[in-house]
């Protein structure tokens, strides 16, 4: 059901109650399950949409997330007798310009919650991911460069790592959305992914000194994903996400939920991305073993007082450290200097 169809009957019901001089919220059951129900709500005056699920017994009001556009409350549902507590996600008043994002959030939750063992806790985890999304993107979704970068990371996840550690292992190793130093981290290994549309040897941007710092790691890899980017052609980011999501859900629904949480934290909102007609086509993936001698800047090589360094790395200078992923993974190559 589309977001418009979902709210239209509730608006009509609220309007009827308003004409009768009633106050409060109009409610409509969105889904019923054996031990739980999901309700949509709307204030009688037609504002402040809401979504409600059963409230976890151990939840305190101080634990509830909130941000621009929405907030959470613990309230008593008026229909059962006696009333039962529910966790209410409600649209913030006066933020009508963010209404499409509240629609997207509700759509996401209505897809997630039926598979959750504890709807209230699952809803809180997902809402917290949305809070991170708002904080990092200001609710505007992915920029063109961010979309390109995320696509490259998912290429490495699906086409490179999954072949060695399984799709679930690759999804769990993807930590970029949590702003870790490298995009993938697991068992003493890390992979930093750079995505480029450059046709020549080109260069990549290193965003911090720590991205290519092997301290504390056994093996560090720089993976460069070369793609073509086209309007109205190629594979959409949403299409690749859907394929990974479908395969991961079959293998582990819990891992799929965590994967979707991280996608939202990274700025991917499915209902928004479906409308973006920018596609990608793979050209190749190059891998470079980051060890002693690899061209990079490190904290100990800089004069005192210099920080927050960003720089460009010429890929032609990296050729002596070119390696296949299988060799790097099998550790048939030199280990990182891991100071």
Per-residue pLDDT reduced to its tens digit, 293-331: 999 999 888 888 887 899 999 999 999 999 999 999 987
What average pLDDT score do residues 29-57 get?
Answer: 82
Q: What is the distance in angstroms between the CA of the first residue and the CA of the last residue of the chain?
A: 54
- CA geometry: angle at 123 spanning 60 and 1, to 5°? 145
Domain boundaries, the chain: 3-137, 144-329
Model-wide pTM > 0.85: no
Residue 339, pLDDT > 70, answer no
* pLDDT score of 150: 97
Query: In this structure, what token pair is assigned to residue 230?
Result: 């086209």
Q: Is the four-CA dihedral 308, 314, 320, 322 of positive or negative sign?
A: positive
The percentage of the chain sitting over the pLDDT mark of 90, rounded to a whole number, equals 43
What does the alpha-carbon distance between residue 167 and residue 157 come to, in Å, rounded to a whole number?
Answer: 8
Identify the pLDDT of residue 291: 94
pLDDT digits (tens, 9 = 90+) for 78-89: 655 566 678 888
Burial grade of 18 (CB within 10 A; 0-12, 13-18, 19 or more):
middle
List the beta bridge partners of residue 77: 84
pLDDT tens-digit readout, 84-105: 678 888 888 776 667 778 888 8
pLDDT number for residue 86: 81
Residue pair 102/69 in contact (Cβ under 8 Å)? The answer is yes
């Amino acid at each position: 059901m589309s977001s418009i169809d979902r709210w239209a009957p509730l608006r009509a019901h609220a309007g009827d109650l308003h004409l009768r001089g009633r106050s409060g919220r109009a409610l409509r059951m969105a889904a019923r399950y054996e031990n739980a129900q999901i309700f949509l709500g709307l204030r009688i005056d037609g504002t402040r949409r809401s979504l409600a699920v059963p409230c976890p017994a151990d939840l305190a009001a101080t634990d509830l997330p909130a941000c621009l556009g929405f907030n959470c409350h613990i309230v008593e549902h008026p229909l059962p007798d006696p009333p039962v507590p529910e966790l209410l996600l409600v649209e913030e008043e006066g933020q009508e310009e963010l209404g499409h994002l509240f629609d997207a959030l509700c759509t996401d939750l209505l897809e997630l919650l039926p598979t959750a063992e504890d709807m209230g806790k699952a809803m809180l985890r997902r809402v917290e991911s949305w809070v991170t999304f708002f904080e990092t993107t200001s609710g505007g979704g992915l920029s063109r460069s961010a979309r390109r970068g995320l696509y490259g990371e998912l290429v490495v996840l699906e086409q490179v790592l999954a072949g060695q550690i399984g799709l679930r292992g690759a999804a769990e190793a993807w930590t970029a959305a949590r702003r870790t130093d490298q995009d993938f981290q697991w068992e003493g290994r890390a992979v930093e992914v750079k995505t480029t549309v450059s046709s020549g040897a080109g260069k990549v941007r290193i965003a911090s000194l720590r991205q290519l710092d092997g301290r504390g790691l056994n093996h560090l890899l720089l993976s460069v994903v070369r793609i073509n980017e086209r309007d109205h052609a190629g594979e959409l980011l949403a299409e690749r996400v859907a394929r990974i999501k479908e395969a991961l859900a079959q293998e582990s629904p819990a891992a799929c939920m965590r994967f979707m949480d991280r996608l939202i934290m990274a700025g991917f909102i499915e209902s928004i991305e479906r409308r973006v007609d920018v596609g990608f086509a793979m050209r190749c993936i190059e891998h470079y073993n980051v060890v002693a001698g690899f061209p990079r800047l490190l904290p100990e090589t800089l004069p005192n007082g210099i920080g927050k360094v960003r720089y460009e790395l010429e890929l032609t200078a990296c050729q002596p450290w070119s390696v296949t992923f299988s060799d790097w993974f099998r550790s048939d190559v030199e280990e990182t200097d891991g100071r």
